[in-house]
Amino acid sequence: MDQKASPSRLRIFLADDHPVVLSGMKTLIAADDGLEMVGEATDGPEALRSALELKPDVAVFDLSMPGMNGIDVAQKFLAARPDARVLVLSVHEDGVYLRRLLKLGVAGYILKRSASDELIRGIHAVANGGIYLDPAIAGQALGRPAPMAPAGNETSAISELSTRELEVLRLASVGHSNKVIAIRLQVGPKSVETYKARAMEKLGFSSRVELIRFALSMGWLDAADL
């Protein structure tokens, strides 16, 4: 499938090896005037090849596909297109896959059982530069209920952050690149790197997973203006 997309719509690519699931997702996409399907695939190799060729605004990959699993597809796709927006569908709720995918740069993770309610919201969120995690798994997957108040040591560390450091961290947590943050805050990209590094150090964070966990506790991922 390869349709000519309207420039006013988000171009969506779907990959899932279950015909019923794929059909259901296509129906959801078709019902949203802001979205348009540009391609689909039913196995991993086909998903990777087609997504790279079509360059969708958002690529939705099933975690379990024949030939190549969703993790490998996402990793190879993002390696070739680092700024691409990827959302993964999964039946797994234990958080192991979620943490691994976040480290790879995947922007969204939705459980198949709630895709009918969460897929469209997730697509729009990641297309706008945000991170979207299925509400049913976000808290437990990242090691704490969400949302909740930051832990004591994080609370005290927050007071040590400058306004600029906090703002950079907030924008970075929802998936904005250094370049985009620099434009929004009217500072240089190197300054953004410095602010982010200082903030991470003050909070004692060494990974993106810790940052996302913190962002959940602060309610940043639910903000509509990001």
Q: Per residue in 45-84, pLDDT tens?
A: 999 999 999 999 999 999 999 999 999 999 999 999 988 9
Of the ranges 3-12, 48-57, 188-197, 198-207, the best mean pLDDT one: 48-57
84-90: average pLDDT = 94
Residue type, 136: A
Question: What confidence category does residue 221 fall into, taking pLDDT thresholds of 50, 70 and 90?
Answer: low
* Residue ranges, CATH 1.10.10.10, the chain: 152-222
Q: Is the Cβ–Cβ distance between 47 and 61 less than 8 Å?
A: yes
* Residue ranges, CATH 3.40.50.2300, the chain: 10-141
* Percent of all residues in the chain with a pLDDT value above 70, rounded to a whole number: 82
146-156: average pLDDT = 47
CATH class of 152-222: mainly alpha
Say whether the peptide bond before residue 147 is cis (omega within 30 degrees of 0). Answer: yes
Task: Tokens for 42, please give them.
Answer: 């039913």
Statement: residue 3 has pLDDT above 50:
no
Statement: residue 20 has pLDDT above 90:
no
Q: Please report the pLDDT score of residue 89 as a whole number.
A: 94
Statement: residue 15 has pLDDT above 50:
yes
Question: What confidence category does residue 178 fall into, taking pLDDT thresholds of 50, 70 and 90?
Answer: confident
Of the candidates 136, 163, 133, 144, which has an alpha carbon nearest to the alpha carbon of residue 210? 144
Q: What is the CATH code of the structural domain delimited by 10-141? A: 3.40.50.2300
Task: Give, to the nearest 10 degrees, the angle between helix 163-173 and helix 189-203.
Answer: 90
Looking at every residue in the chain, the average pLDDT score rounds to: 83
19-44: average pLDDT = 94
pTM: 0.65
58-72, 139-153, 171-185, 188-202, range with the lowest pLDDT? 139-153
Question: What confidence category does residue 36 fall into, taking pLDDT thresholds of 50, 70 and 90?
Answer: very high
Task: Tokens for 109, please give them.
Answer: 């993770």
Q: Other CB atoms closer than 10 Å to residue 155's CB: what's the count? A: 11
